[in-house]
Amino acid sequence: MAQGSLENLKLGMETLRAHKLRSFLAVLGIVIGVGVVMIVVAIIQGFRQQVVDSISSFGADTAFVSRFEQGPHSGRRPKEERERKPLTMEDGDAIRDMCPAVSNVTVWITQWETAHKVMYQSNSVTGIDFRGAESNYPFVYANATLREGRFFTESENQHRDDVVVLGEDAAKALFGSLPATNRDVLIDGADFRVIGVLDKPKGGFNGSDEDRRVVIPYLTFKKVYPASYENSIRFQAKQDQLDTAVDQAREVLRRRRNDAYDKPDSFSLTTSQQQIQEFDSIIGMVVLATFVIASIGLLIGGVGVMNIMLVSVTERTREIGVRKAIGARRKDITLQFLFEAMALTGVGGVIGVISVESLVAAIRAWTDMKAIVPLWAVLLALTVSLAIGLIFGVWPAMKASRLDPVEALRYE
């Protein structure tokens, strides 16, 4: 049986070599379909890894509380969100005091809809992520490490000192290669002394919010901007108690905000894992759409293979008659043409895999994108390619096996 299968495979490969151009054109749809699926999977896998690294860099054991729902949104927020009560410093204190599973809490304030500007001499930076934070901010944010200088102290926060910590990109834009610490900058016209520079977050994106972050003490922010600010909270759970900490914090906030038992939360409380799950649900739709589009290419490729195999049956009618005359069974003829069709599409799958691997290697070499072709995608691509050959090769194979040997030998 194995010997017969090997012989059929050899016959199929010989037919491919004899009609190289025709064979390539027949499987072009397979190459394109497999290539599209694999390149999208590679890019999404790489992008997902960066997103996971970036989200996880905030701390796998932390949760984020905001008045507004997190994640992408378009246009104006729903009325229900806009009418929610703002979070307060007291909310953060309540989580700290009333949640045994919480080990640390930090509160910061921002002005989401206000554009801020930082200047040093003739250099300026806009589009910054500007916030006022408590002194324990870097202890709750796992990625808030410093590559230069220090973070401000609780004493500087209480005294409302005009000190600032800059993100890496903001510091480079203002000072270039010069040291940033102990230099004075203007933030919206107010004078601040730079005391530290945040390091680029591990796993983050180039130009991410953390790179453009500008942080001043919480009470200094309230001094400079006494109105129109928004509080946010991030808390850190004790070891292996994140779910418990989230439940405790939710209960405390719902009670403080007078949320009715039959109503949803009037705030957003998310963990890193939830953010990753939300991202996966979004890209899942992209992957599904890609598979639908790619399946059209595979269908076209399959029809092309079936067409070329039907032509091959007609051209090789006399050969089929000779094989039957010397003892070949219908099963042998069927397997021969099925193997030939699968070899045809299998080669197309291999070409698609090699092309995508080369393209992904170039993407990794020329960009910062961590494009990855997972093994399961390669195996799936090759399996689908062979399956296309098997499915679309059945009709030509059956047609060949049913030829009458006497009539086939008379065919010219």
**pLDDT tens digits, residue range 299-319?**
877 888 888 788 777 777 787
Residue 166, pLDDT above cutoff 90: yes
Q: How far apart are CA 171 and CA 44, in angstroms?
A: 31
Label residue 57 by pLDDT band (50, 70, 90): low
Q: Tell me, what's the pLDDT at 236?
A: 87
Q: How far apart are CA 63 and CA 406, in angstroms?
A: 79
Label residue 206 by pLDDT band (50, 70, 90): very low
Asked whether the beta carbons of 94 and 251 are under 8 A apart, the reply is no
Residue 385, pLDDT above cutoff 60: yes
Asked whether the beta carbons of 199 and 147 are under 8 A apart, the reply is yes
Query: What backbone torsions phi and psi does residue 202 show, to the nearest 5 degrees?
Result: -65, 130
Label residue 251 by pLDDT band (50, 70, 90): very high
Asked whether the beta carbons of 256 and 94 are under 8 A apart, the reply is yes
Q: What's the full length of the chain, in residues?
A: 412
Strands 230-237 and 102-110: antiparallel
DSSP 322: H
Question: From start to end of 102-182, where are the E strands?
Answer: 102-110, 117-120, 123-126, 129-133, 146-149, 163-166
Residue 9, pLDDT above cutoff 60: no
Q: Two tokens at 307?
A: 């067409």
Q: Tell me, what's the pLDDT at 2?
A: 47
Residues of the chain with pLDDT > 70: what percent? 86
Question: From start to end of 111-239, where are the E strands?
Answer: 117-120, 123-126, 129-133, 146-149, 163-166, 184-187, 190-198, 213-217, 230-237
Mean pLDDT taken over the chain: 82
Q: Tell me, what's the pLDDT at 67?
A: 87
| Residue 396 or residue 410, greater confidence | 396
Collapse the DSSP code of 391 into the 3-class scheme (helix H, G, I; strand E, B; otherwise coil) and give the result.
helix
Q: How far apart are CA 176 and CA 190, in angstroms?
A: 22
Hunting for tokens 């960066």 — which residue is that?
50
Q: Tell me, what's the pLDDT at 40?
A: 81
| Residue 296 or residue 231, greater confidence | 231
Collapse the DSSP code of 39 into the 3-class scheme (helix H, G, I; strand E, B; otherwise coil) and give the result.
helix
Q: What integer is the mean pLDDT of 186-215?
A: 77
